Structure 1
Amino acid sequence: MSASGSSHVQAARKVLADRLREMCRDAGLDGKQLASLCGWHPSKVSRISTAKTAPSAEDLLVWCRACGKEDQAADLVASLRAVEGMWVEWRRMERTGLRRAQEAVLPLFDRTVWFRAYSSWLVPGLLQTRGYTEDVLRAVQQRRVPVDDVADAVRVRMDRQRVLRDGRRRFAFLIEESVLVNGLGDVDTQAEQLERLITAGALPNVSVGIVPSRLNRTRMPVEGFWIFDTTQVNVELVSGHLTLTQPSEVAMYAGTFAALGDMAVYGSNARALIAAAIDALG
């Protein structure tokens, strides 16, 4: 697990551990007394309460019962499941191929009304052309996925773009200028993709901002991320996929998006940068 992914998960585990420790204290129990009521060795209580060991769902039920707080068990188990689902390594997510990984996010896209996406590596998936998507997913498949279902995965991603045509949804994309000159495919594929950015930016419910490459930036490029409404952030790291739902963390990414958005150019200025990148292709 990457340091970034593990640090987020560890922080969430600590929040859960703090809640358990507070519950124990409110019940007037110390660690040894709680261990005795649970039928555990005291060291297990210590490991769980300091977030060194993640509890199981059964552990949480036993803990709540010992503290006379069985009514809180369901909420704690839900928090545990959220922590467990925060971090998924790509090799686990994609072990059966790329199509299923693409399908897994369809419910999230279907229920989201306000999309915000920042990319410092590639054109965001909702704005990708079929050729660009195929080049991206082929590179992923060759690097880490033994199953070759790229054609199926491309179809799923293309179908996902139907949300762009739903007028009740809003989309804000921020793309680093370097993305305009980085491409996995040939000149024709890159040119088509850049033209797609221009046409997508003309849609009434879509905003495309380009963050210019320049000195004296107030914010440096960060990892790519998506914000879904105001409830969830998905971050794509080198080794895995991070899901954040804590309001404070979602707010942090929203603040970063706003700061980067203040540095971006839009409309005719954005189109000028894209056109320059097209001209540079020759």
Structure 2
Amino acid sequence: MDKKVQQYTKLYIYEIKGFIRDCRSIKIKGYLGNWPESPYNYLFFLEPVDSEIEKWLSDQGGLEVTNKFSIDYSDWQQVVHRTHKVGRFLILPGVPDGFVADTDTCERTGVYLYITPCLVFGSGLHPTTSGCLAAIDFLYGEEVPKTAIDVGTGTGILAIACAKCGTEKIIAYDINPLAVECARDNVRRNNLEAKITVKEGDGILNLEKSDLLCFNLDEKSFRCLIKEVDLREFRWSIISGMLEKRFDQLSQLLPSGIKIRWQQVNKGWLTICIQGKE
């Protein structure tokens, strides 16, 4: 625990249009990672690197800088420097690099989630994330799913919460390589590598059979989920990322035969826990 957590203050972001074949070719000082949003890439740095970016682009071909900007880290990511509580969960931000949780201590003192958000979504403060944690708190009071899938895992916070509550096998998906790296680090910090596998890819198109589906993404992704997946095949689904005012319309997309067992509205965002097959 000697190493300190990387403390971001200012982020410098370069919008690059085109396909980056291999982000590992970026050997520029202060490089934090790439956030892909086709057809663009957003490269994050700790300091301005205008000349270095131009040199790197000249070696790539087919890429161009279309925008660049800087932002305070606190504006990019909701950050707290204290423990915050959602249901049974106590979320500790800013865990030192190299830290590995003492699972015995966690079990004695409460369900602690050691989460470092870095550059991706899932600090536990957003209403959809806290809503999903509250739904997990409800569900695991009813029963403990043996298996779970988390689509759009971000920091891995929901997968970690499920594992801490007793689920033995969890697959966590994200299409963002920054999120995959962050989630794997957080899984390691919580000493849960034996329970959680983090995969890069579109979880909607790769769903395996599971007792529980966790899905905290946007409305467009929800519509895609409903089109591709029969939620009745999952015993439980926890879904968030939709505005309450949109739910009357979106609920018509849900298959018949499911039951909404729990719901919560937080700052206009709705989270639901659905029971599918018995």
TM range (shorter): under 0.3
TM-score (norm 1): 0.22
- Which structure has more relative contact order (CA 8 Å, sep 6+)? It is 1
Q: Which of these two proteins has the greater Rg computed from alpha carbons?
A: 1
The structure richer in strand per residue is 2
The structure richer in helix per residue is 1
TM-score (norm 2): 0.22
